Amino acid sequence: MRVPYPMDGLPGRVTVYEVGPRDGLQNEAAVVPVEVKAEFIARLADAGHRVIEATSFVHPKWVPQLADAGELLSGLDRVEGVRYPVLVPNERGLDRALEHGVEEIAIFGSATETFARRNLNRTLDSQFDMFEPVVARALAHGLRVRAYVSMCFGDPWEGQTPIEQVVRVGRRLLDLGCYELSLGDTVGVGTPGHVEALIGAFGGPERLAVHFHDTYGQALANTMAALRAGVTVVDASTGGIGGCPYAESATGNLATEDLVWMLEGLGVQTGLDLDKLVSTSTWLAGRLGRPSPSRVVQALSPKE
């Protein structure tokens, strides 16, 4: 049911920060052709997305699936009013992004020692030495910089992440000059109570976004907890594809369709066209050779 006004205690509008082309396609076993990536992004814009994380300028050997980042951006048919941020870990990545006219980047820190080493080849502390000049130079070039903090709830090697550790890392990332911090549940172990406690420990929702993977089926419930705590930016991936190659237990992101279905039922606006999202995911599933894991896509896709 579509409700015309937001239910009590919820925002009137949520910005969906779409990560499918980056978080989704970085985790595919096969490299997706650049033309398919470009069409995916074009379809997302046509479905109403206004922010689409397009790709990553990480080391091409670390994530070969996105080694075509430059080629993709050069051929991208940019739609006016749509932002196309990219992931950038270091100065080499920033140089590459600037060469391709990028206007917005996202750095990605780790809340835990083990994941900092595995994902960034840095220690928890030395990751900041890598990020600091990236953010300073990006801001000097007039770019917007977002930050992620990964493993906010738990980590496959270290167990539950202490909340004060997440807040410490997250604040340091924000203090570099990032406009927003996205709280990443990289392996999907968070629960709604934990989400509420974490946002509370940051002192409230200001400058916070949420990024849930759905490994334990908690992504929608976690999103609801974040909305009730005042968060209005939610990361999601059309079709529910996604994961991190450096955290094997990570499965897909919260599916954009599942999110939009729930928000429509709560009277929260997104500006997204659910039918177009579902047909995009059905089309993409054909290219990837496997069905979308999203329950809403499965329910709304035409049956053979």
Active site residues: 244
Query: Considering CB distances under 5 to 8 angstroms, the limit depending on partner class, which of Mg ion, ligand HMG, none binds residue 13?
Result: none
- For ligand HMG, which residue has the nearest CB? 184
Q: Minimum distance from CB of 163 to ligand HMG (Å)? A: 16
| Token digits of residue 9 | 């205690």
Nearer to ligand HMG by C-beta: 60 or 291?
60
Helix axis angle for 274-288 and 256-266, nearest 10°, is: 160
For residues 223-236, one letter each, b for 16 or more C-beta atoms within 10 angstroms of the residue's C-beta and e for the rest, the string is bbbbbbbebbbbbb
Task: Choose the stretch contacting ligand HMG; rule: CB under 6 A; options: 119-127, 214-222, 262-270, 278-286.
Answer: 119-127
Indicate the DSSP class of residue 144. E
Q: Is 57 in the site for ligand HMG (CB under 6 A)?
A: yes
Mark 128-147 with x for binding to ligand HMG (rule: CB under 6 A) and - for no binding: --------------------
Tokens 């995911």 belong to: 281
Nearer to ligand HMG by C-beta: 21 or 93?
93
Identify residues 181-200 at the interface with ligand HMG (CB under 6 A).
Answer: 184, 186
Q: Is 115 in the site for ligand HMG (CB under 6 A)?
A: no
Exposed/middle/buried for residue 61 (C-beta within 10 Å: 0-12, 13-18, 19+) = exposed
The site for ligand HMG, by CB under 6 A, has a size of 26
Q: Is 108 in the site for ligand HMG (CB under 6 A)?
A: yes
Task: Choose the stretch contacting ligand HMG; rule: CB under 6 A; options: 87-95, 158-166, 223-231, 287-295.
Answer: 87-95
Exposed/middle/buried for residue 91 (C-beta within 10 Å: 0-12, 13-18, 19+) = middle
Q: Is 153 in the site for ligand HMG (CB under 6 A)?
A: no
Nearer to Mg ion by C-beta: 23 or 28?
23
Tokens 């009590």 belong to: 8
Q: Minimum distance from CB of 165 to ligand HMG (Å)? A: 15
Q: Minimum distance from CB of 128 to ligand HMG (Å)? A: 13
Nearer to ligand HMG by C-beta: 26 or 298?
26
Instruction: Give the closest residue to 117 by CA, choosing from 49, 62, 184.
Output: 62
Tell me, letter by letter, the H, E, C secondary structure of 30-96.
Answer: CCCCHHHHHHHHHHHHHCCCCEECCEECCCCCCCHHHCCHHHHHHCCCCCCCCECCEECCCHHHHHH
Contact between 211 and 198 (Cβ < 8 Å): no
Q: Tell me if residue 5 falls in helix, strand or coil.
A: coil
Which residues lie near ligand HMG (CB under 6 A)? Answer: 23, 26, 56-60, 62-63, 89-90, 92-93, 96, 108, 119-121, 148, 150, 184, 186, 211, 213, 244, 246
